[in-house]
Structure 1
Amino acid sequence: MSSQPLRIGVVAGEPSGDVLAAGMIAELKRQHPDAIIEGIGGDNMIAAGCHSLFDMETLSVMGLVEVLSHLPAILKVKNALIAHFEKYPPDIFIGVDAPDFNLRVEKALKQKGIKTVHYVSPTIWAWREGRIHKIAQATDCVLGLFPFEAEVYQKHQVAYRFVGHTLADAIALAPPQQPARQALGLASSDPVMAVLPGSRNGEVSKLLPIFLATIYEVLKQKPGCKFVIPAANQHRFDFIAQFLQEHATRLYAEGTILLTKGNAREAMIASDVILLASGTATLEAMLCKRPMVAAYKLSGLTYKIMQRLYKAPFFTLPNLLAKRKIIPELLQDDVNPQMLSQQLLGFLNSDNTALIETFTQLHKTLAQDADKASAKAVLDLINHE
């Protein structure tokens, strides 16, 4: 390898990828302090030492149909990003999740002779397995978070490394509740529910009104319950604050609903139960050892498409990891205040010991020192001529 500083391109498309990439970047920087790391990232990646060339928010779009209206802006960023890396070729390019965007960038750069890694396996084990051929064309290696993914890569003889999940390394096996409550100013004796309506604008717009109606339902039976909503970023914070001021003025003003910027993990640990949008947050809730109810709503057309294409038995990570239904996962019309509140109250009125034990066992399988494992995989590929 030359004596020149390493040049590494990294792109994450949403907050969960920003967290994953940040840990890997911090480890790469620890081993190579002069490395030049640039691409697209959020606050965590930037803090770890990545120079973000574009605003990550441009890529944070959900759904098959919803992305179409944002396509011109996304394509403009893609083309500018490829042009930048062609002009300043990195030793390796790492696409973190966001496969519809990153695999296209990876393919273009790989064709120029640049080594590429895709960090976070696309869900080919759940739908559109044929995408593995495009993955093979785009990347030299896939870094996977979950052990059940390896089988499909072995089947198609595509390079894959299970590196575990950085969240499993960061969160204690038995996170203590009271310090988190103290940090948020919550009483030790009150029932507490964390409410996470998603990290993307589309998710929050769809789920927040239903989640607020669910809060009112829960309060009918648990009038002393407190609710913490940790907004994923400033964009979401502003939107949620405005919504609460318009639709839950009294609850917001009196502190029954506490809105924070960030602190999602602290809110989860402080809670007795969690209501959340399905996604990476379900994994974090599992690692925090808190019972949860996961919900998701897609546009009508996206849902019809997914009904035909999705083949996995579950859509939440805890259920997929356990290979059985251990948490309620509600979709489309089932995402309503009555069904959500019924499931949440069931958890609030139980001790949930068996569920917590299952969460703990799953946690142990994912704790693989992912930041070091992913950084090692990247450096191994750089050094392998």
Structure 2
Amino acid sequence: MDNESTAQSVQSDLAPIFAIIVGEHSGDTLGAGLMLELTRHYPNAKFIGIGGPKMLDLGFESLFAMDELSVMGLVEVLGRIRRLLHVRKTVTQYFIKHRPDVFIGIDAPDFNLNLEEKLKKQGIKTVHYVSPSVWAWREKRVFKIEKATNMVLSLLPFEKKFYDKHQVPCTFVGHPLADDIPLNSNKEEARAGLSLAKDNKIVALMPGSRGGELERLVPPFLASAQQLRASDPTLTFVVPMISEKRTAQFNQIKQTIAPDLPITVITGKTQEVMAASDCLLMASGTVTLEAALIKRPMVICYKFNLITYWLAKWLVKLQWFSLPNLLANKTLVPELLQDEVEPEYIVPLIKERLYNDQNNLTDEFTNIHLQLRQNASEKAAKAVVELL
């Protein structure tokens, strides 16, 4: 038996405990992919911490619901601070007592990095999967990350260069979305699968996955849809929602603002809706990368709580805030922020992308896709295994 076969045989007999904490749906997707790959190395592995529905379906044991951590914005976090501190204290004590072989914090840096630092001091190996935006603001956090982790797993190539500059261990693994999403997303197949009109132009309204995002973005998105529909009655509007809870919230807002506007709401099929669409009006976030990989034109918007916005404006020094533009290092897609998120700005940008040729944009998105397609979950799992 060769050395590699012997190592695989030993691994198959081991039952390591992997502690993982995720804070939102994108982290749940990363966590599920990582679990699948780690299970190939360690079929008897145990996974415990805080996970989402995809991870739970794979046998993950969650100590708290993932929604406990799904809070974004400085002011919003302050409103939940006592509960968040309770959750972190509870999981910290649990992991110190039960000592997992590796702790993997997936995104949620404000929650996970403090936890990782405490666990590392206790001799528990720690990994942070998805680099915080240290290259955008609070650059000195890189030294805290060095103290808190044995390894950073970065999804984006420019992040690896940043960590190398500061001599902090980092592995660029690529992005799992680039592995999962095909290079060519078929619009006709997607429409047939969702029973959507074959010939009409379709605009997807995508106001986000958090309650606060919907409160701020649904009203201007609906007002823009009304204006677009008035100028082109053949337009079809589709809204993908992440959960039944968000679907109910969207419908409630729509009933108040635009009860007569024809809209199809589809729950749990975001990528399919994007593939079926001609243009996307969307909140900023990881979903904008999905849109780029599916290769659909988009207009990206974001509105913060006012205090959060002014703090971010003071702290963050970036030319762009959306992932497609950051990855291309140029303006590929329009970004609207805060007071710009109004129909007078949104409608002309949507029309331009609906009715003009977008082939150059598709080529740019394809370049991004190829750059990020690295078998990310497999690479991430390999890096974690090497820590063991």
TM category, shorter: over 0.9
Aligned to 1:279: 285
Letter in 2 for 1:259: V
How do residues 201-212 of structure 1 correspond to structure 2 at under 5 angstroms? 201-212=211-222
Aligned to 2:354: 348
Aligned to 2:317: 311
How do residues 197-346 of structure 1 correspond to structure 2 at under 5 angstroms? 197-251=207-261, 256-346=262-352
How do residues 50-65 of structure 1 correspond to structure 2 at under 5 angstroms? 50-65=60-75
How do residues 166-185 of structure 1 correspond to structure 2 at under 5 angstroms? 166-185=176-195
Letter in 2 for 1:373: K
Q: CA deviation at 1:246?
A: 3.3
> Alpha carbons of 1:111 and 1:234: their partners in 2 closer, same or farther (altered >3 Å)?
farther
Letter in 1 for 2:67: E
Q: CA deviation at 1:48?
A: 2.7
Kept in 2, the 8 Å contact 1:91–1:115? The answer is yes
Distance (whole Å) between structure 1 residues aligned to residue 227 and residue 285 of structure 2: 24
Deviation sequence 1:73-132 (CA, Å, 0-9, x none)? 111111111111112111000000010001011111111110000000000111110111
Aligned to 2:384: 378
Kept in 2, the 8 Å contact 1:29–1:49? The answer is no
Report the 3-state secondary structure (helix = DSSP H, G, I; strand = E; otherwise coil) of the residue aligned with 1:129: coil
Aligned to 2:372: 366
Aligned to 2:197: 187
Is 1:152 the equivalent of 2:162?
A: yes
Aligned to 2:52: 42
Distance (whole Å) between structure 1 residues aligned to residue 59 and residue 43 of structure 2: 9
Distance (whole Å) between structure 1 residues aligned to residue 211 and residue 124 of structure 2: 34
Distance (whole Å) between structure 1 residues aligned to residue 338 and residue 197 of structure 2: 35
Report the 3-state secondary structure (helix = DSSP H, G, I; strand = E; otherwise coil) of the residue aligned with 1:193: strand
Q: CA deviation at 1:4?
A: 4.6
Question: If the length of structure 1 is used for normalisation, what is the TM-score?
Answer: 0.96
Aligned to 1:21: 31
Kept in 1, the 8 Å contact 2:14–2:42? The answer is no
How do residues 87-98 of structure 1 correspond to structure 2 at under 5 angstroms? 87-98=97-108
Q: Which runs of 4+ in 1 moved over 6 A?
A: none
Distance (whole Å) between structure 2 residues aligned to residue 94 and residue 229 of structure 1: 33
Letter in 2 for 1:313: Q
Q: Among all aligned residue pairs of Structure 1 and Structure 2, give the percentage whose two residues are the same amino acid.
A: 46
Kept in 2, the 8 Å contact 1:25–1:49? The answer is no
Letter in 2 for 1:211: F
Report the 3-state secondary structure (helix = DSSP H, G, I; strand = E; otherwise coil) of the residue aligned with 1:345: helix
Kept in 2, the 8 Å contact 1:23–1:48? The answer is no
Letter in 1 for 2:284: S
Kept in 2, the 8 Å contact 1:24–1:374? The answer is yes
Report the 3-state secondary structure (helix = DSSP H, G, I; strand = E; otherwise coil) of the residue aligned with 1:258: strand
Report the 3-state secondary structure (helix = DSSP H, G, I; strand = E; otherwise coil) of the residue aligned with 1:290: coil
Length, aligned pairs only: 378
